A and B are shown apart, each in its own frame.
Chain A
Amino acid sequence: MNINRLSAMTKRVLLQLWHDPRTLALLFLSPALLMTILKYVYWSNPDLFQRVAGSMLGVFPMLVMFLITSVATLRERSSGTLERLMISPLGKAEFIAGYAIAFGLTSLVQATAVSSYAIWVLGLKIAGLQITLIYVAILDALIGLAIGLAVSTFANTEFQAIQFMPAILLPQLLLSGLLIPRAAMPRILLDLSNFLPLSYAMDATRKVISNQGSILNDSLIIFLFLALLLSAGSLTLKRQSK
Chain B
Amino acid sequence: MSAAIRAINLNVQRGKSHILHDLTVEIPRGVIMGLLGPSGSGKTTLMRSIVGLQRIASGEIQVLDLPAATKPLRSKIGYSTQSASVYSDLTCIQNIRYFASLYPQNEKSPEQILEDVDLSRNADQMADSLSGGERARLALATTLVGTPELLILDEPTVGLDPVLRVQLWALFNKLAAQGKTLLVSSHVMDEADTCHQLILLREGRVLAQGTPSELRARTGKSRMDEVFISLIGAA
Indicate whether A87 sits within 8 Å of B77 (C-beta atoms), given known contacts A12-B90, A81-B85.
yes
Docked complex Cα distance between A16 and B88 (Å): 9
Tell me, rounded to whole Å, the shortest Cβ–Cβ distance linking A85 to chain B: 7
Bound-state Cα–Cα, A16 to B98, Å: 11
- Nearest A residue to B98, CB-CB: A12
Q: Which residues of A contact B218 (CB under 8 A)?
A: none
A80 CB-CB contact with B under 8 Å: yes
Q: Given A8, A239, A242, which contacts B102 in the complex, CB threshold below 8 Å?
A: A8
Residues of A with C-beta under 8 A to B85: 79-81, 83-84
> What residue in chain B is nearest A78 (Cβ atoms)?
B83
Chain B residues within an 8 Å CB radius of A239: 52-53, 69
Query: Does residue B14 face the partner (Cβ distance < 8 Å to A)?
Result: yes
A79 vs B94: C-alpha distance when bound (angstroms):
17
A81 to B86, CA, bound (A): 6
| Residue of B51, B54, B104 touching A89 (CB-CB under 8 A) | B104
Cross-chain contact B101 with A83 (CB below 8 angstroms): no
Output the nearest chain A residue to B51 by Cβ-Cβ distance: A87
Q: Distance (Å) between the CB of A212 and the closest chain B CB?
A: 44
Query: Closest residue to A20 on the B side, CB-wise?
Result: B89
| A240 & B52 in contact (Cβ 8 Å cutoff) | yes
Q: How far is the CB of A183 from chain B (nearest CB, A)?
A: 46
Chain B neighbourhood of A113, CB < 8 A: none
Instruction: Please judge, given known A-B contacts A8-B98, A15-B94, whether A88 and B87 are in contact too, CB under 8 Å.
Output: no
Q: Which residues of B contact A9 (CB under 8 A)?
A: 102
Contact between A87 and B52 (Cβ–Cβ < 8 Å)? yes
Interface residues contributed by chain B, number (CB under 8 Å): 32
Tell me, rounded to whole Å, the shortest Cβ–Cβ distance linking B113 to chain A: 15
Q: How far is the CA of A80 from the CA of B84 in the complex (A)?
A: 8
Contact A242–B55 (Cβ < 8 Å): yes
Q: Decide if the interface of chain A is mainly helix, strand, loop or mixed.
A: helix
CB 8 Å contact bits of B206-226 with A (1 = contact, 0 = none): 000000000000000000000
**Cβ of B172 < 8 Å from any Cβ of A?**
no
A85 to B90, CA, bound (A): 16
Q: Which of A11, A19, A242 meets B89, CB within 8 Å?
A: A19
B56 closest partner in A (C-beta): A240
- Closest-by-CB residue of B relative to A5 is B102
What are the residues of chain B within 8 A of A84 when measuring CB–CB? 79, 81, 85, 99, 142
The yes or no answer to B74 lying at the interface (CB within 8 A) is yes
In the bound assembly, the distance between CA atoms of A80 and B44 in angstroms comes to 14
A1-59 with Cβ < 8 A to chain B: 4-5, 8-9, 11-12, 15-16, 19-20
A63 at the interface (CB under 8 A from B): no
Q: Which of B89-131 contact A (CB under 8 A)?
A: 89-90, 94, 98-99, 101-104, 126
B24: interface (CB < 8 Å)? no
Q: Is B75 an interface residue (CB 8 A)?
A: yes
Q: How far is the CB of B59 from chain A (nearest CB, A)?
A: 15
* A86→B74 CA distance, assembly (Å): 9
**Beta-carbon contact of A16 and B103 below 8 Å:** no
> Distance (Å) between the CB of B75 and the closest chain A CB?
6
Q: Output the least CB separation between A111 and chain B (Å).
A: 24
**Is A214 in contact with chain B by the CB < 8 A criterion?**
no
* B90 x A4 contact (CB < 8 A): no
> Is the beta-carbon distance between A240 and B102 smaller than 8 angstroms?
no
Closest chain-A Cβ to B233's Cβ sits at a distance in Å of 34
Among B14, B84, B89, which residue has the most Cβ atoms of chain A within 10 A? Answer: B89
Min Cβ gap A81→B in Å is: 5
Q: CA–CA, A86 to B85, complex, Å?
A: 12
Is A87 touching B83 in the complex (CB atoms < 8 A)?
Answer: no
Given the interface pairs A79-B83, A81-B87, A83-B85, the reply to whether A89 lies near B75 with Cβ below 8 Å is yes
Q: A12-B87, A19-B89 given as contacts; is B102 within 8 A of A87 (CB)? A: no
Known: A11-B98, A239-B69, A240-B69. 18 other contacts (CB 8 A): A9-B102, A12-B90, A12-B94, A15-B90, A80-B81, A80-B83, A81-B85, A87-B51, A87-B74, A88-B99, A88-B103, A89-B71, A89-B104, A239-B53, A240-B53, A240-B54, A240-B55, A241-B55
Q: List B residues at the A interface (Cβ < 8 Å).
A: 14, 48, 51-55, 69, 71, 74-75, 77, 79, 81, 83-90, 94, 98-99, 101-104, 126, 142, 146
| Cβ-closest 6 pairs across A and B | A80-B85, A8-B101, A84-B85, A12-B98, A240-B55, A88-B102
